Amino acid sequence: MSDYSFFGAVEKSFDKAAQFTTWDPGILEQIKQCNAVYRMHFPVKIGDKVEVIKAYRVQHSHHKLPCKGGIRFALSVNLDEVMALAALMTYKCAIVNVPFAGAKGGITIDPKKYTPYELEKITRRYTSELIKKNFIGPGIDVPAPDYGTGEREMAWIVDTYTSMRPGEIDGLGCVTGKPVTQGGVRGRREATGLGVFFGLREVLSMKDVMDKLGLPVGVEGKRVVVQGLGNVGYHTAKFFQEHGAKIVGLSEYEGAIYNMDGLDVDKVVEHRKTKGSLLNFPGSTNFAKNTDALEMECDILIPAALENVINGQNAPNVKAKIIGEAANGPLTPEADENFAKRGILVVPDMYLNAGGVTVSYFEWLKNLSHVRYGRMEKRFTENLNTHILGQIEDLTGKKVESKEKELILHGPEEVDLVRSGLEETMITATREIMEVWKKNPQIPDMRTAAYVVAINKVGTSYAELGIFP
């Protein structure tokens, strides 16, 4: 499927949803287009050779500022992909009420082929290219991690930015997903996976939705397959396991494994670290291809790697009743159609994996406020709770059990506040999308309902801002 256009697929989903809105066609067209596309080539000395590196930053919309979205390092990075991912960021932020516009960046390299020193040179040079064109800054455009990048790369970016913009008081907010020691926020690393869990848990708690799928309500006992064990896949699988689901299948580049009695996620990761492959994990069955995981027997399938993995060809073989899109764009429009016909519920990417950008928003707020979450209220809350509990014990003449006591007295740490903010965000977004879907039964699937929510929010922004004469 080399002629597949990811941006085209996003446009297709957008158009499908636009008919359920009442926006002027001009506004719809403005929402859909990528506002600014920056494609660059720059030289970096690798060993004793000069390599010309190809990279991108796309700002899909400017209805709010800053723009926001990750940076991907992969050989498959191309303009069409970056444009699609930037557009998804606009819709994602709108759905979870994060006041950013969408953007995305990418460098067309295989990061495994470079030493950390070479990657640092490439990342710093990319950052300075962005600075030169005013494509980065806490009020302009704020990158974050994505496929192939993480805290280390974000630390290089913030260091390059702050050294080239000395004295900029909010400079730390130029990028998110940083290490905690460099202005990051606790809870960002696992945020996308935790958001996927919170979103699906909310869907699984809806009796009417579960009845339609013929599944019992709740996470407990659900059979889950996760494709991809990177940051997002690993944490998603881990949270599901911790809450009583059975992780029956896992996959990575080298293949997939299945065990109907459940796999211990950390043990699989440990096995992969020592053996260099997740295959031959004790008690499990091997599958040769990573994509074999998509066709395994389960209740919930979570693609957590790259786009376009479920298409018209393999969609009919998918056995899951729920697809949770932890990756961006794992389904083609043909797969969507197949699942809608078969009554399989697709919980869409641009809302389900919004946990990353939601916590990025919290990190950005922390950077702008120059104070750690919880610093002002933790001790105050603990003192107050101690006092209230003491009064209750005195008045009732009974003592609260020590584990309960610990829970009640505990004042919020940064990670507690971040996680509860994320939980609230994901629950609210799930309900909002389901509400729109229920109100309009013509809407064919949850993705379309999510797009309707996003289009209405971005449309309102454009309409209220007016168009510059």
∠ CA 163-169-175, rounded to 5°: 65
How many CB atoms neighbour CB 241 within 10 A? 18
For ligand GLU, how many residues bind (rule: CB under 6 A)? 12
CB of 182 to ligand GLU, least distance (A): 16
Location of structure tokens 């400017």: 62
The separation between CA 446 and the C-alpha centre of its own chain, rounded to angstroms, equals 17
Does 189 engage in binding with ligand GLU (CB under 6 A)? Answer: no
Cβ distance to ligand GLU smaller for residue 70 or 249: 70
Cβ-closest position to ligand GLU: 70
Rounded to a whole number of angstroms, the minimum distance from the CB of residue 316 to ligand GLU is 28
The span of 66-74, 109-117, 194-202, 446-454 binding ligand GLU (CB under 6 A) equals: 66-74
- Residue 265, classed as helix, strand or coil, is helix
- In the region spanning residues 366 to 395, those forming contacts with ligand GLU, defined by CB under 6 A, are none
Amino acid found at 124? R
Site for ligand GLU in 287-346 (CB under 6 A): 328
Task: Give the sign of the dihedral formed by CA 60, CA 62, CA 63, CA 64.
Answer: positive
> Which residue is catalytic, options 32, 64, 68, 104?
104
**Contact flag: residue 144 with ligand GLU (CB under 6 A):** yes
* Euclidean distance between CA atoms 260 and 246, whole angstroms: 8
Chain centroid, CA 232 distance in Å: 7
Residue 122 vs 304, nearer CB to ligand GLU:
304
- Smaller CB separation from ligand GLU, 284 or 367: 367
The candidate with the shortest Cα–Cα distance to 68, out of 94, 86, 55, is 86
Instruction: For residue 150, give the DSSP letter.
Output: -
CB of 457 to ligand GLU, least distance (A): 17
Tell me whether residue 79 or residue 389 sits nearer to ligand GLU (CB atom).
79
DSSP state letter for 309? -
Pick the closest to residue 38 from 88, 107, 100 (CA basis).
107
Q: How far apart are CA 369 and CA 366, in angstroms?
A: 5
Minimum distance from residue 69 beta carbon to ligand GLU (Å): 5
Q: How far is CA 60 from CA 38, 104, 379, in A?
A: 11, 8, 43
Enumerate residues 346-365 that contact ligand GLU by CB under 6 A.
Answer: 353, 356-357, 360
Q: Which is nearer to ligand GLU, 144 or 417 (CB)?
A: 144
Among 59, 90, 176, 430, binds ligand GLU (CB under 6 A): 176
* Beta strands per DSSP E along 214-321: 223-227, 246-252, 255-258, 285-287, 300-303
CA distance 327 to 227: 9
Is 70 or 233 the residue whose CB approaches ligand GLU more closely? 70
Give the span between the Cα atoms of 441 and 2, in whole angstroms.
35
Position 69 contacts ligand GLU (CB under 6 A): yes
Q: Is 193 a binder of ligand GLU (CB under 6 A)?
A: no
**Is 104 a residue of the active site?**
yes
- The residue from 17, 55, 70, 445 that contacts ligand GLU (CB under 6 A) is 70
68 binds ligand GLU (CB under 6 A): yes
Check binding of 425 to ligand GLU (CB under 6 A). Answer: no
Catalytic residues: 104
Provide the binding-site residues for ligand GLU, judged by CB under 6 A.
Answer: 68-70, 144, 146, 176-177, 328, 353, 356-357, 360
